[in-house]
């Protein structure tokens, strides 16, 4: 490459180079968004952008106001299509101690109604530190490969997966439909060799094997992926046309027989002691394995038991990851900054002298809240032996769950003299409003409401975020810019951008990186979201305590926006039939209900919401088409002793079949399932004329296998 090395640039040269890059990239954007054919390739474009970012990081003071790094409407980097997983790819719960492993087994015994001594065979295998991949085979042929993504939808990386030797293109004697799941990773030796090659060709160095594997798999050019030495271990499956086996270990053996690599350290254990012994064994061999692992995964061996145990909201009950202790590093705490969230929460963030922890450079860490800095946990218990955290201190950093940097210890011997404990601000650093901490709360909150620019912007960011309106091309950065420019002050303004622009009130075109074309794209993306499901709208409003799950419950309960508004308005005194009705919704308590009602009774907030809804079409919430199970849509109550299954299991299974499980009998109850020893509930059911069945009748009714 003819371009000079960045390290050799003088300041003046760097300034000129940044200007040149800004021009070249701006032209490339125009070409892309306009009708002209692009003059440079994707790869060249990305290389220029990277070069620009590198120079900026070396000379931060020279960063241009129209820096291409901040550009809106730039070429979308995502060009992988999306694939929705037939069976969701979930994450695992974690165990950090031997005791947690015992708890895992005990919890499962309890859920299954087994006695404390009953054996539950469990497999143990190394947890590979790579990225998970789902491979779909139809008729024995590899149909597609998808990354995990958010667990529901991943990226289609089929062409790249086909270049990996460990991934068979076709299978013999496989089920007609088979989704194989496993981990793509890179060995230590291959990682070192790759970085050497990268260095020789002045390419980007990877921080660790996992990043190298991720970067290699997500190449737009499969030819590059082919040149990277990726490997694959199979350890699970998704959709299947027929079972692979009746145990976890049997299924893994079957995957191995089909031609997949499976981990040789997978072992079937009989009890917690064996699991822990195998964990220690794997831990001892960790350094010599030749690839990164970050723990050991335990899975209940019997697939029948796995089926019975089922899932919690995001994790299976029948599996857990036993993590190795986190890597630690010492560094200096340079400063404590305060961030203001959308609810006004003041969050302290540690600014650190950059330090490598577990393969990545960390320069920020969360400090949670006031008490955490002082050395107390949420229950007022002393942590870090009471050592408080002060700017200037040497602190020990680790990455919780190998992700979020946290501070675990302070070296008092190296504390500079003359420091005093950090005093947490009692006023908002952004708007100077009073910041109050409510009795019993861990967080201190800015009371400025929408007066506070930080809260206003964070609320808008939430509004356009993924689970909310999810407007393409309008992310956090753009929202901040639009807010600063006073184009968007409240959600309703987003839906007025087009008219304001077209009527000439606002001029996007004067800003670098925007043309009529990119503006039109943005407005189209906004118009796409003018029709919105009720639950999403509610979630988008960012009402405290009302998140995604609560929004769904509330939306289903009321059905339409008008019904919701009418009821919530009528409940404004936190009493009356509408208030009671809202509190009776399963999963909604007085705090959530109060937050919802209060939000709509503040005149200013209510007016703002009305201005927004005026411009939208709100889709009514419909219960997911209750499957054709005989109990779908019915409200049932369990009482007495259940003999064939535990309470928790019965509840989970009934809910899976579309029934609603309530705690007490009322006129709304459709069926009471009464086991031996049923008391007052059975009597009440009889009084109300509610249909009562015993456990066996219930199982017959739901056609339990």
Partner DNA sequence: TATCCTCGAGTTCC
Partner DNA sequence: CTCGAGGATA
Q: Which residues bind DNA (CB under 7 A)?
A: 91-92, 94, 107, 207, 211, 312-314, 339, 341-345, 347, 349, 360-366, 368-369, 371-372, 377-378, 400-405, 440-443, 458, 542-551, 586-593, 647, 661-663
Q: Minimum distance between the CB of residue 268 and DNA, rounded to whole angstroms?
A: 25
Q: Minimum distance between the CB of residue 94 and DNA, rounded to whole angstroms?
A: 5
Q: Minimum distance between the CB of residue 263 and DNA, rounded to whole angstroms?
A: 19
d(CA 386, CA 372): 10
d(CA 603, CA 611): 12
Residues facing residue 337 across a β-bridge: 349
Q: Minimum distance between the CB of residue 551 and DNA, rounded to whole angstroms?
A: 6
Measured from the CB atom, the residue of 381 and 420 that comes closer to DNA is 381
**C-alpha distance across the termini of the chain, in Å:** 67
Backbone phi, psi, residue 323, to 5° = -85, 145
Q: Minimum distance between the CB of residue 139 and DNA, rounded to whole angstroms?
A: 34
d(CA 278, CA 274): 6
Which residue is associated with the tokens 């979308």? 76
Q: Minimum distance between the CB of residue 399 and DNA, rounded to whole angstroms?
A: 8
Measured from the CB atom, the residue of 287 and 403 that comes closer to DNA is 403
Helix (H, G, I), strand (E, B) or coil at 605: helix
Counting Cα atoms < 13 Å in the Cβ hemisphere of 239 gives 11
d(CA 662, CA 673): 11
Residues facing residue 364 across a β-bridge: 351
Measured from the CB atom, the residue of 341 and 533 that comes closer to DNA is 341
User: 196: which 2 tokens?
Assistant: 């050497």
Burial of 314 per CB tally in 10 Å (0-12, 13-18, 19+): exposed
Measured from the CB atom, the residue of 179 and 649 that comes closer to DNA is 649
Which residue is associated with the tokens 């004067």? 510
d(CA 668, CA 133): 45
d(CA 674, CA 681): 9
Measured from the CB atom, the residue of 16 and 400 that comes closer to DNA is 400
Q: Rounded to 5 degrees, what angle do the CA atoms 676, 681, 682 make?
A: 55
Q: Minimum distance between the CB of residue 571 and DNA, rounded to whole angstroms?
A: 14
Measured from the CB atom, the residue of 497 and 588 that comes closer to DNA is 588
Q: Rounded to 5 degrees, what angle do the CA atoms 125, 130, 133 make?
A: 90
d(CA 158, CA 156): 6
Catalytic status, residue 127: yes
Q: Minimum distance between the CB of residue 662 and DNA, rounded to whole angstroms?
A: 7
d(CA 682, CA 674): 7
Torsion of CA 458, 464, 469, 474, to 10 degrees: 170
Measured from the CB atom, the residue of 178 and 546 that comes closer to DNA is 546
d(CA 296, CA 283): 9
Measured from the CB atom, the residue of 84 and 363 that comes closer to DNA is 363
Of 75, 82, 110, 127, which is the active-site residue? 127
Active site residues: 127
């Amino acid at each position: 490459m003819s371009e000079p090395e960045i390290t050799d640039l003088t300041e003046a040269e760097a300034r000129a180079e940044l200007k040149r890059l800004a021009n070249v990239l701006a032209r490339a954007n125009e070409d892309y968004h306009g009708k002209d054919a692009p003059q440079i390739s994707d790869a060249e474009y990305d290389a220029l952008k990277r070069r620009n970012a590198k120079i900026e990081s070396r000379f931060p003071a020279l960063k241009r106001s129209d820096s291409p790094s901040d550009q809106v409407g730039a070429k979308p980097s995502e060009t992988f299509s999306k694939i929705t997983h037939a069976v969701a790819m979930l994450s695992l719960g974690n165990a950090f101690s031997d005791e947690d492993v015992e708890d895992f087994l005990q919890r499962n015994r309890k859920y299954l109604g087994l006695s404390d001594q009953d054996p539950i065979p469990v497999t143990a295998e190394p947890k590979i530190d790579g990225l998970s991949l789902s491979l779909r085979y139809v008729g024995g042929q590899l149909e597609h490969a998808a990354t995990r993504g958010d667990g529901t939808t991943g990226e289609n990386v089929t062409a790249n997966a086909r270049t990996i030797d460990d991934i068979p293109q076709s299978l013999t004697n496989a089920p007609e439909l088979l989704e194989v799941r496993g981990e793509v990773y890179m060995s230590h030796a291959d990682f070192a060799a790759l970085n050497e090659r990268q260095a020789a060709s002045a390419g980007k160095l990877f921080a660790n094997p996992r990043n190298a594997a991720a970067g290699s798999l997500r190449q737009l050019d499969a030819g590059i992926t082919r040149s990277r030495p990726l490997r694959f271990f199979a350890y699970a499956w998704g959709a299947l046309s027929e079972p692979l086996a009746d145990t976890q270990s049997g299924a893994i053996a079957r995957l191995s027989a089909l031609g997949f690599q499976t981990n040789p350290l997978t072992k079937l254990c009989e009890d917690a002691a064996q699991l822990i012994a195998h964990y220690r064994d794997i831990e001892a061999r960790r350094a010599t394995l030749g690839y990164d692992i970050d723990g050991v995964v335990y899975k209940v061996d019997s697939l029948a038991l796995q089926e019975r145990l089922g899932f919690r909201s995001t994790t299976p009950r029948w599996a857990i990851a036993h993590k190795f202790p986190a890597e630690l590093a010492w560094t200096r705490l340079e400063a404590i900054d305060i961030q203001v969230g959308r609810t006004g929460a003041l969050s302290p963030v540690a600014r650190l002298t950059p330090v490598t922890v577990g393969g990545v450079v960390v320069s920020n860490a969360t400090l949670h809240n006031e008490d955490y800095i002082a050395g107390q946990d949420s229950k007022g218990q002393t942590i870090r032996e009471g050592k408080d955290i002060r700017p200037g201190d040497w602190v020990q950093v680790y990455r919780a769950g190998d992700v979020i940097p946290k501070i675990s210890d302070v070296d008092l011997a190296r504390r500079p003299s003359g420091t005093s404990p950090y005093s947490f601000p009692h006023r908002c650093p952004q708007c100077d409003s009073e910041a109050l901490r409510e009795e019993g709360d861990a967080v201190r909150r800015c009371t400025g409401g929408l007066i506070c620019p930080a809260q206003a912007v964070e609320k808008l960011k939430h509004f356009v975020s993924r689970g909310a309106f999810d407007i393409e091309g309008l992310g956090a950065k753009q929202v901040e810019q639009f807010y600063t420019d006073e184009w968007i002050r409240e959600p309703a303004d987003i839906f007025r951008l087009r008219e304001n622009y077209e009527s000439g009130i606002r001029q996007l075109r004067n800003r670098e990186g925007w043309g009529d074309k990119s503006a039109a794209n943005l407005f189209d993306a906004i118009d796409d979201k003018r029709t919105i499901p009720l639950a999403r709208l509610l979630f988008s409003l960012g009402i405290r305590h009302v998140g995604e799950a609560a929004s769904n419950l509330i939306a289903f309960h009321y059905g339409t926006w008008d019904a919701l508004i009418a009821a919530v308005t009528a409940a404004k005194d936190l009493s009356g039939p509408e208030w009671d009705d809202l509190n009776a919704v399963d999963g909604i308590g007085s705090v959530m209900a109060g937050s919802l009602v209060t939000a709509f009774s503040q005149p200013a907030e209510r007016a703002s919401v009305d201005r927004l809804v005026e411009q939208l079409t709100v889709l009514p919430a419909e219960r997911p088409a209750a499957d054709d199970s005989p109990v779908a849509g019915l409200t049932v109550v369990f009482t007495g002793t259940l003999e064939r299954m535990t309470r928790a299991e019965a509840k989970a299974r009934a809910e899976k079949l579309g029934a609603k499980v309530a705690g007490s009998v009322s006129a709304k109850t459709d069926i009471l399932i009464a086991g031996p020893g049923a008391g007052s509930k059975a009597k009440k059911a009889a009084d109300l004329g509610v249909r009562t069945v015993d456990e066996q009748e219930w199982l017959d009714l739901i056609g339990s296998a």
